[in-house]
Amino acid sequence: MSDNHAFGRPNPEEARGVVETMRTENSTISNNFNAVMSCSKSSVQHLEEHSQSFGELFVSADHADVTIVLDDGTEFSSHRLILAVRSSFFRAMLYNGFQESHQKRVALHETNSTAFRAVLQYMYTSKIDFAGVELDILLEYLSLAHRFDLNQLMNAIKDANFSVLDTNIIPQYPNVQPLSRDLGKRYSPAENITVFHLDLGKPFIINTILMDFNWKNDVQSFSYQIHVGMENRVEGHWKLVADYSDYDCRGIQRVFLPDTVVRYILIRVNDPMTSRLEASRIEAMYSSETMIVDPISKIIIPHRNITTIENHARVVEGVSRCRNALINGDITSYDWDSGYTCHQIGSGLIMIQLAQPYIISSMRLLLWNCDDRFYSYYVAVSTNQDDWTTIVDHTNDESRGWQELLFDPLPVVYIKVVGTRNSSNEVFHVVHLEAPSNVPIAIK
């Protein structure tokens, strides 16, 4: 028998026009080109061998063309192309004209060497072992994955260690002092900006920031920005997570962000009168109770009613025996004398101010309905009390009881309800308002 036959292959002469097949349980494999292309086994992936080869390259550092130097003096010989292919961070650093593009030795500041070694090896091999890794180092892994834009690694760490990360206790700061004017100017040159700079001490995963500013005197509204980062440098890689600089805010502020590894928090608060802002309470946390955030505007899109006292909304215009009857959640305890908010038709209005901007697209009103009267009205919203958008115009309608309102999503800080007609007298009465609606509203 020829060698070809010994290995189960026909002689070339015998193979002309012949398609040899090997049957398996689920498919037939053919050496005919067309058959191979249609076969489920046509794709070959030797990923383990690939990973092993790059792992050997990581260990040997053969043909390395850049050295990564950490603050503690640890050095890692690496390959620019591999780093750039695996990470947008390194691609920008090593190939986009920065000074590191021409340097043989590149410094990485505030980087844990143990964690960096593991993450760098992952960049070569796509393998990493979490077994036995202490929480502090695990957080450093996550920090570097976030910093280097390694999304698959970030998700793997969170999925494999969610219960551990969720119990991570983040310190709270009940008495944070604003930076002095001189130090604050490092982060914002404007005279009317008060700056808070918070160091959490080490990286943490957070998705919620709570702020309760303490003012020397009564402040009707303020505005602010929040940045987070892993590096404590003015020109560092700060990430903007909230920009409410063009909105009126008041009371306790809640900012939600995607799960993010953070060590430093930078808050810039607009303080027009200067020096009215004193020590304030700031909390950073990881919470399972968050809301969706619009990725462009960074504004929360609430899934439940936020026009409540608990969410620091307030009624700023309107007459009532109880100042916040309109938003206290009571929709049953009203009669001829109490339980509603009203205004004189033709000379007044009802207005609510939310604690901060929210993107809202629905609303419910309960018009006073202890008899068979009807009302006409319109609703407008604003972010600053200067520019108003009418979202509902029922000035030509005869409206009674519950009003379910749908409109295009838009940022809202102020809600204005104006009555234009009451079939019984000259006063417009509203028992309850909620936004967004707590119940689904059918599109009519």
| Strand stretches in 244-296, DSSP E | 253-270, 277-285, 292-293
pLDDT of residue 172 exceeding 90, the answer is: no
More confident site: 40 or 322: 322
pLDDT of residue 15 exceeding 80, the answer is: no
Q: In the predicted model, what is the mean pLDDT of residues 64-92?
A: 93
Whether CATH 3.30.710.10 fits 47-166: yes
Q: pLDDT per residue over 219-260, tens digit each?
A: 778 899 999 987 777 666 788 999 999 999 988 999 998 878
Structure confidence at residue 130 (pLDDT): 86
Fold topology of 314-434: Jelly Rolls (2.60.120)
Residue 32 in tokens = 């005919």
Nearest to 287 by CA among 207, 181, 211: 207
Report the C-alpha gap between 188 and 54 in whole angstroms: 45
More confident site: 112 or 180: 112
More confident site: 142 or 406: 406
Give SS3 for 180.
Answer: coil
More confident site: 266 or 177: 266
CATH class of 173-290: mainly beta
300-312 burial, b for 16+ CB within 10 Å, e for fewer? Answer: bbbeebbbbeebb
Residue 267 in tokens = 């808050």
More confident site: 4 or 424: 424
Please state whether beta strands 105-108 and 66-70 pair in parallel, antiparallel, or not at all (unpaired).
parallel
Report the C-alpha gap between 87 and 95 in whole angstroms: 12
Longest dimension (CA), the chain: 111
Banded model confidence at residue 214, pLDDT cuts 50, 70, 90? confident
Find the helix packing angle between 113-125 and 135-147, rounded to 10°: 60
Task: Give percent of the chain with pLDDT exceeding 70.
Answer: 85
Contact 433, 365 (CB under 8 A): yes
Fold match between 173-290 and 314-434?
Answer: yes
Banded model confidence at residue 272, pLDDT cuts 50, 70, 90? low
Task: Give percent of the chain with pLDDT exceeding 90.
Answer: 48
Output the CA–CA distances (angstroms, integers) from residue 245 to 193, 223, 271, 354, 384, in the order listed.
Answer: 11, 5, 11, 16, 11
Q: pLDDT per residue over 359-375, tens digit each?
A: 999 999 999 999 999 99
Q: DSSP of 99-158, one letter per residue?
A: GGGG-SEEEE-S--HHHHHHHHHHHHHS----TT--HHHHHHHHHHHHHTT-HHHHHHHH
Banded model confidence at residue 24, pLDDT cuts 50, 70, 90? very low
What count of other Cβ atoms lies within 10 Å of the Cβ of residue 61? 12
Q: Mean pLDDT score of the chain, rounded to an integer? A: 83
Structure confidence at residue 427 (pLDDT): 96
Structure confidence at residue 166 (pLDDT): 52
Q: In the predicted model, what is the mean pLDDT of residues 201-226?
A: 84
Q: pLDDT per residue over 422-441, tens digit each?
A: 999 999 999 999 999 988 76
pLDDT of residue 171 exceeding 60, the answer is: yes
Find the helix packing angle between 113-125 and 47-60, rounded to 10°: 140
Domain-by-domain residue ranges, the chain?
3-37, 47-166, 173-290, 314-434
Structure confidence at residue 215 (pLDDT): 79
